[in-house]
Structures are given as C-alpha cells and as structure tokens.
Structure 1
Amino acid sequence: MMLEYTILWLDGNSSDPMSSFRAKLGNAQTFTNVNDCIEYIKSHSKELIYLIVSGSLAKEIIPIIYESSNIIEIFLFCGSVSAYAEWAMDYCDKMMIFDHGDDLLERLWNDLQNKLREHAKICLKLAEEHKQRALQFKKPCG
C-alpha cells in the first residue's frame, strides 16, 4: 500500500532555474504548457496530485481538470487574490488562492505532512493487526 503524492507546477516561468520559488519548491514536475499538464494528469490517474498553477493559466486548466479524482488540491498562485476571488467560487472545494509563495508552500507542506501522518496511522494499525494474526500461529518450541 504505497502512498505517493506528486506536485505539479504549471506556470510559464516554471522551468526558470533561477526562480526562487522553484528552488523552495524542490522536486516538482514542472509544465509551461497547459495541454502537457492536462495530459500528465489524465495519464497518471493513480497518482495523488497537488497542482500549483499560475493565475494566467488557471482559467484555462482548472475547469478541465477540476473533477479529476487524482487532484487532491489546487493552489492558484497569482499577483492578486481579489482578481480571482469571484471566478474561484465555483472551485473552492479543491482550490485555494495565494499571492505569496511562502504562504502557498507553508500550506502545501502542512497539508502533505497531515496526509502522510494519516496514512502512517493506518499503516501502523494494519501492522498491529497482522502482528496479532501472526501471534495466533506462534507455537512453543519443544
């Protein structure tokens, strides 16, 4: 029961190696093209995906991928939250809007931490159940 989360960043500047946000984000799959990102999401239906998308590309991709079951959360990263607030109301179940990279990253890492801790609890419970089952078959030597 492997649990893995994938972080995708769709932004015209995501491939810029000098981006301070890129450096802070670390190991994420980057896209500069909406169609390439959509194709990735559709072809990796078993991956649990966090999508970071620039404001300039959000209105193009979000209506298409919003209902995808593998999209856990969408982080819209833009220059002005108020510019997207009204439009975003249709997507508020899975989407949050940020105008500061550090705020976005704090939320992303905290959300991932919580999801992984929940999964760890489930794994520990299953491990204990298997241990108890194994003990049923333990026989003394001799």
Structure 2
Amino acid sequence: MSQNKIIWLDANSSDPVSSFRSKLGDAQTFTRADNCIQYVQSHSNESIYLIVSGSLAKEVVPEIYECSNLVQIYLFCGSIAAYAEWGMNYCDKLMIFNHEDDVLERLWNDLHKNLRDQAMLLSKRAEEYKQRVLEYRQPCG
C-alpha cells in the first residue's frame, strides 16, 4: 500500500499564517512548479493528491498528469470559468474549485474513501492469511 501525500503548490503556500495552510495540516508545500514536478516524478511510492493554484496549473499539470502516482488534482482558482475549457484535457484527474472549503471537503472525502478501500483490502488479505493458517494447523496430541 502506498502512502497518501497531500501536496499544495501555490506561490503563497509558504505563508505561515495562512488559514488554508493550517487547515491542510501536514501537507507538503511548494512555491515553484519545477520543485513540485520533480517531487511528484521522484516519489512513485506515494499516492499524491495535489492542490494547485490557477496561476501554476497550466505549467505543472501537463508535466505530471500521466504520473501513475498522481491520484487527484484540485485546481484552486478565482474563476472556474477561466480554466473550464483547458481543464477538459485533464478531466480524469482534475477538479476545479473557487472556494477553499469546497476544495478541503472534496479532498477529505477522497482521502476517506481511499483509506476505507485500503482498509477493506487489507482486511480481506488478513482473512485469506487466517484461512491459510487454519489449513496448516495440526491437532495437538
């Protein structure tokens, strides 16, 4: 199972008093597209959920969209209409938001679903191993 990683790419993501930053918790932040691209491409063992500002989206999304570890992209911008047509090229992994609460609600819902799916898979595997143990259990005496 890969680790889920939240990444926030925004020129203002390093602002320590950002309320959005505090709501994200332990998200990895980037202020430059090239650093973010390098991170996504070099961390194939992580399932990445990327929040990207509109101002950097057109630079970064085409570079990382095909990365298999990129689960979802949340484009956070001032105007959904300004990115709607462009975003159609990336609609399998891209959602566009103009309010931070909407981004966060969707992110937490997506992570919740992913973790529940992983838990169910792990529980199923555990049951399979339990059955294997029973096959090899020898009676005492």
Whichever residue aligns with residue 79 of structure 2, its letter is: S
Question: Within 1, Cα distance between the matches of 2:99 and 2:60?
Answer: 21
Q: Report deviation, 1:47.
A: 1.1
Partner of 2:109: 110
Q: Report deviation, 1:29.
A: 0.4
Q: How many residues of Structure 1 are paired with residues of Structure 2 in the alignment?
A: 141
Structure 1 segments of 4+ aligned residues over 4 angstroms from their partners: none
RMSD: 0.9
Partner of 2:6: 7
Query: In the alignment, does 2:109 pair up with 1:124?
Result: no
Partner of 1:81: 80
Q: Is the 8 A contact 2:2 2:45 kept in 1?
A: no
Q: TM-score, normalised by structure 1?
A: 0.96
- Please state whether the residue corresponding to 1:136 is helix, strand or coil: helix
Query: In the alignment, does 2:78 pair up with 1:97?
Result: no
- Please state whether the residue corresponding to 2:48 is helix, strand or coil: strand
- Please state whether the residue corresponding to 1:17 is helix, strand or coil: coil
Question: Within 1, Cα distance between the matches of 2:63 and 2:21?
Answer: 25
Whichever residue aligns with residue 117 of structure 1, its letter is: R
Partner of 1:67: 66
Partner of 2:27: 28
Partner of 1:136: 135
Please list the CA deviations of residues 40-73 of structure 1 after superposition, one character each: whole Å capped at 9, or x if unmatched.
Answer: 1111112110110000101111111111111100
Question: Within 1, Cα distance between the matches of 2:31 and 2:12?
Answer: 7
Q: Report deviation, 1:10.
A: 0.3
Q: Report deviation, 1:110.
A: 0.5
Please list the CA deviations of residues 64-89 of structure 1 after superposition, one character each: whole Å capped at 9, or x if unmatched.
Answer: 11111111000000011111111111
Q: Report deviation, 1:3.
A: 3.1
Question: Within 1, Cα distance between the matches of 2:2 and 2:73?
Answer: 19
Whichever residue aligns with residue 61 of structure 1, its letter is: V
- Structure 2: 5+ residue runs without aligned partners? none
Query: In the alignment, does 2:40 pair up with 1:41?
Result: yes
Question: Within 1, Cα distance between the matches of 2:70 and 2:2?
Answer: 14
Q: TM-score, normalised by structure 2?
A: 0.97
Q: Is the 8 A contact 2:9 2:31 kept in 1?
A: yes
